Each structure stands twice: as C-alpha cells, then as structure tokens.
Amino acid sequence: MEERIYSASGAPLGFHNGRVMYDLSGHAVGQLRNSHVYSTSGHYVGELDDGMIVDKNRNYGSIGACGAGRRGARGFGNRGARGTSYRDVSDKLFES
C-alpha cells in the first residue's frame, strides 16, 4: 500500500510503497526497513513516524544499496503541520 511522506510543516515530500521511498518525481531516494529509513546507498537516516522522517537518536548502521529505479510521479497536497517531539530529518533524504 502506498503511503505519503511529509515534512514537519506538512509539505508533501514523496511516498513509499513497501521498501522503496520515492520523491514526488518518482525517483528512488531511500529504503525502508520496518520503521528505519536508509538512503539509497544504505546509510541510516532516521525513523518513519506519522508519515515523517524523524531523528529518534538511534543508529542502525548501514545496509546495502537498494538499486531501485523510478516510479510514476505523484501529486500530493499539503496536510498541515504536525506536532512531534522529534527533529525532522527529511532533508537528509529529500532535496529542498
């Protein structure tokens, strides 16, 4: 099932469908293992929590590169800001 990814301010950033994360243009930008988010090269980025990538002060090391390609582009609307006690680290995965 496809799930959308947002910044803390509610701006849409991308989506994931299973283990691969994509930007809004459909380019693979990361990997998802349970709630752990990794870059496409396999470096740990943060945790997926309530549709956001946040820093929960954990480090799960690195995993292998995903080798994923591209999926169709998506258009999402803003969902509004979400309060969280964790720091938004989506900029480590998505370019602003």
pLDDT in tens, 42-51: 889 999 998 9
Hey, is 92 helix, strand or coil?
helix
Mean pLDDT computed over every residue of the chain = 80
Does 89 or 81 have the greater pLDDT score?
Answer: 89
Q: Kindly tell me if the per-residue pLDDT of 1 is higher than 80.
A: no
Q: How confident is the model at residue 32 (pLDDT cuts 50, 70, 90)?
A: very high
Average pLDDT over residues 16-33: 91
| pLDDT at residue number 86 | 81
pLDDT 10s digits, 57-84: 766 665 565 555 555 555 555 555 566 6
Q: Where are the alpha helices (DSSP H) in 1-96?
A: none
Q: Kindly tell me if the per-residue pLDDT of 96 is higher than 50.
A: no
Percent of the chain at pLDDT exceeding 90: 32
Please choose, from the candidates 95, 13, 96, 24, the residue with its C-alpha nearest in 3D space to the C-alpha of residue 48. 13
